[in-house]
Amino acid sequence: MDSVAGGAWYIAFLATAGLGACYLFLRRRRFDFCTIGFLGACFYFLPGFVGFAGYAEGFLLRPVAILPGTYAIMCWVLFVLVFCAVLVDLAEHDNRAPTPTANESLHHMGTIATLAGVAGLVLTCASVGTALLDPDKFALLALLNRWYLLWTTGAVLGLSITFLRRRWLLFAVNGLLLLANLYVGFRVDLVIAVLALCAIVMARRGPARFISYWRTGMLIAAFGVLLFVYKYILFALKALDTDLLMAQISNPDAFKLIFLYSEPFVAQGTLNEVIRQGFSVGADHLLSVFFLLVPFANELGAEVVGFNDLFQPALFSSVTEYGLGSNIWAEMWAVGGWPAIVLFSVVFAAMLVSSSIMVRRLGPEAMALLVTLAVYWSFYVHRNDLLYQLTLSRRILMAWAVFALFALAIDQLLGRVKLIIARECSSVEGYG
């Protein structure tokens, strides 16, 4: 550490993370999204454990010491998440698991979501073509369209719904869709889907000490490390360049590069730089959130401004070939300092607590929706800005609503067909 203040905050961060982990994993308690939020925060706050973040310069990242202000915000976020878990524990007095009633009118929804995912994959391949195999991820991003969103959104929702409905063939199809997306170069949908499945399984269990699931935790940690490594070697894999692949694997600095160039170090580098330069944007850009109420607002000419559009040119002017991952805590700090961070924390906490209490009381399709949204907000929120986070939520909500409407329509249609057949059979029997 460069200063006594930095060293003190480093110790405070380690203590906050350690005490929070003790409460969440050693106490006998029910699953909640506060736990996923805490794990997500620890993951995205990995730079806090090693004392440095990454400052982006062109295609390179330079290690920079974490400022006391950055540590203070990370400590606050961890504290809020543990406090939320305490509130959930106080609210959940009844140890009996509720018995939610499934809405059988929606029982075709898993099939519809899966078919939507398959259709999205086919139409993406037709419209994007061999560019899907382009090892340059940033070039590929410019070509992806709404068919790609149908593919990934259908697969994420379909995986949870078919799991809850025990439709294993469709479940396998959704898993393959997500693995295909992983090969294309995008990991987040698979991560969200896997975390949603873990949340569904844990929500059905009674109070337990989560430390007793250490084997499962080790598997999830290994899965995470594999995804880190995969990103590191993805270009070589898609380019089928074995020489580059072997060079990357044999590089003595491979382990350092795998983690230094990961999302957590970029995201906290953004927070660090926002604090260091006193970067401020005010709240005006948040008005873009209202454009989310209008479907296809971009195509209609709306000028949507995200936090990345503001901070990247000002703080990382040498990065021009790609967009940096955002940081919602950096955005809140730039909007209004500690008052904005505390205000957002209250809303964030209310969402986590209410989702944690509601999740066990819902039927399969509603549970799949809530769990997916809650995982996005509890785990993935730390590397997005508010506009993108709400965009993801709107996408899931709209897709779920469309799938539900199709399911209801099919259920009504089949019901009428069965009624007509029953009447015809009755008429024939009566005639006979």
Check residue 1 and give its pLDDT: 44
Report the alpha-carbon distance of residue 255 to residue 228 in Å, rounded.
10
**DSSP class of residue 27?**
S
Query: Which of these ranges, 9-13, 48-52, 253-257, 409-413, has the smallest mean pLDDT?
Result: 253-257
Classify residue 151: in a domain, yes or no: yes
Average pLDDT, the chain: 86
Classify residue 12: in a domain, yes or no: yes
Nearest of 381, 349, 338, 385 to residue 69 by alpha carbon: 338
Classify residue 375: in a domain, yes or no: yes
Classify residue 177: in a domain, yes or no: yes
Classify residue 431: in a domain, yes or no: no
Buried b (16+ CB within 10 A) or exposed e, 173-184: bbbebbebbbeb
Report the alpha-carbon distance of residue 176 to residue 169 in Å, rounded.
11
* Side-chain-side CA neighbours of residue 99 (13 Å): 0
Using only the alpha carbons of the chain, give its radius of gyration.
24
More confident residue, 403 or 249: 403
Query: Which of these ranges, 100-104, 202-206, 380-384, has the smallest mean pLDDT?
Result: 100-104
Nearest of 119, 258, 238, 242 to residue 184 by alpha carbon: 238
Mean pLDDT, rounded, for 260-277? 89
For residue 217, pLDDT over 90 is answered with no
More confident residue, 176 or 60: 176
C-beta atoms surrounding 25 within 10 Å = 18
Check residue 94 and give its pLDDT: 57
More confident residue, 223 or 13: 13
Q: What residues make up the domain containing 241?
A: 4-94+107-424
With beta carbons less than 8 A apart as the criterion, state whether 60 and 241 touch: no
Q: Three-class SS string for 286-305?
A: HHHHHHHHCCCCCCCCCCCC
For residue 297, pLDDT over 90 is answered with no
Check residue 54 and give its pLDDT: 86
When divided into structural domains, the chain yields a total of: 1
Classify residue 191: in a domain, yes or no: yes
Classify residue 430: in a domain, yes or no: no
Classify residue 211: in a domain, yes or no: yes
* Reported pTM: 0.90
Q: Report residue 293's pLDDT band, with 50, 70 and 90 as the boundaries.
A: low
Check residue 415 and give its pLDDT: 81
Mean pLDDT, rounded, for 335-350? 94
For residue 242, pLDDT over 90 is answered with no
Percentage of the chain beyond pLDDT 70 is 92
- What are φ and ψ of residue 56, in 5° steps? -80, 125
Mean pLDDT, rounded, for 146-151? 94
Percentage of the chain beyond pLDDT 90 is 49
